[in-house]
Amino acid sequence: MRKKLYILLVFLSLTAISFAQQKDGTYNFLNMTSSSRVAALGGTIVPIQGSDIQTVVSNPSLINPKMNNSISLSYVDYYNDINIASIQYGRTFDKIGSFVASVQYNDYGTFYYADETGIQDNVMFSVSDYIINIGWGRQLNERLSIGSNLKFAGLQYENNASFALAVDVAATYVNKDNWVFSLVARNIGSELYNNYQSFRSELPFKMQVGASKKLEHLPLTFIFVYDNLQRWDLTYDDPLDLENNYDPMTGEMKKKNKIDELSENLFRHVVAAGELNLGKNLTLRVGYNYGLRQNMKSPTKKGAVGLSYGVAINVYKFNISYSRSEMHIHGSPNFLTITTNLDSFKKH
């Protein structure tokens, strides 16, 4: 019991120390997901226990022995020529716990060199970044599990290169009413090297807390996530003032009343999602990320920005999951994930 308490205290200590690291920047791709299921459910964490290996990159406390010998392949058709691909594999060892290794590669395409006037010289260069992740999870008792990711991230933009090392820590608790609660601290670490600037870039640290509940008499699971727990005010000043937030006479921002300001800040953190199982072979998913909508919407045409949705089907021994995320009015990335367990192909 003392050992379990010690592990939990270490987790909480790392979480507290990390509150100082709160800036996004060069390594913001660490918060991107390639998982179709995660994207369909809002793009943050998924506080649902099970055997689905594609949920653990953002929440390593979900790693468990059911994922032993599972493999997952994901592909994202992002904007224009941007493509994202990843692979995951799980393995369990009796004495030390369960592990999931993954590699994600983001290819941003090729670009022409050009001078300051925009004249191209027909010579091209490539831009890409990648994440190598090793996740570990362990069940401490029937209700509490913990996990951690060790991540090596790098980018190659023309002749510019950068590398960083980061850790995620997470805990998941299931209460007597079968509510599932997860707390995750992501991207604790620092840049190790870069050759294009004289200072080190900060990693995009964030904390997320989520809860889910599967209804007793309906195959529906509700999910609620509070994103960016470490920072209350997620609003920003738009220099273009597309929504007329500044007084044209004084040039000062129009003040909102306390209730509007409180609700605006609160809901920018909230992600709500649901997952409906229609039998054993079909699952429907939908999510709504209000913060994403506020950051990416256009005042003249808001559309369905912030909404995500998807479907999963079981075919033979494979689970095929597809989703779309309405990130902007000018395009919605397509996510495709195929998952299977290699043990299912063994003859009994």
Confidence label for 251 from pLDDT (cuts 50, 70 and 90): low
Over 60: is that where the pLDDT of 180 sits? yes
Looking at residue 13, its pLDDT comes to 41
DSSP assignment, residue 43? S
Q: What is the pLDDT of residues 218-249, one digit of tens each?
A: 999 999 999 999 988 887 666 555 556 665 56
Nearest to 232 by CA among 263, 204, 269: 269
CATH of domain 2-234+269-345: 2.40.160
Q: How far apart are CA 236 and CA 230, in angstroms?
A: 16
Tell me what percent of the residues of the chain surpass a pLDDT of 90. 60
Is the pLDDT assigned to residue 268 strictly greater than 60? yes
pLDDT one-digit tens code per residue, 181-224: 999 999 999 999 998 877 888 999 999 999 999 998 899 999 99
The pLDDT score that the predictor gives to residue 238 is 61
Q: Which residues of 178-203 are buried (b: 16+ CB within 10 A; e: fewer)?
A: eebebbbbbbbbebeebeeeeeebbb
- Run of H or E including 10: helix 2-17
Residue whose token pair is 């290819």: 107
pLDDT band at 308 (very low <50, low <70, confident <90, very high): very high
Which of 38-47, 67-76, 97-106, 291-300 comes out lowest in average pLDDT? 291-300
Question: Above 50 in pLDDT, residue 12?
Answer: no
Instruction: Kindly tell me the burial class for residue 169, based on how many C-beta atoms sit within 10 Å of its own C-beta (0-12, 13-18, 19 or more).
Output: buried
Rounded to whole angstroms, how far apart are CA atoms 199 and 76?
32
* DSSP string over 249-292: TT-PBPPPPHHHHHHHHHHTTEEEEEEEE-SSSEEEEEEEEHHH
Average pLDDT score over residue span 60-77: 96
Q: What are phi and psi of 90, to 5 degrees?
A: -115, 145
pLDDT at 326: 87
Considering the chain, what percentage of its residues have pLDDT values greater than 70?
85
Helix (H) / strand (E) containing 101? strand 97-114
Rounded mean pLDDT, 268-274: 95
Q: Are 203 and 21 in contact (CB under 8 A)?
A: yes
Round the average pLDDT of the chain to a whole number and report it: 86
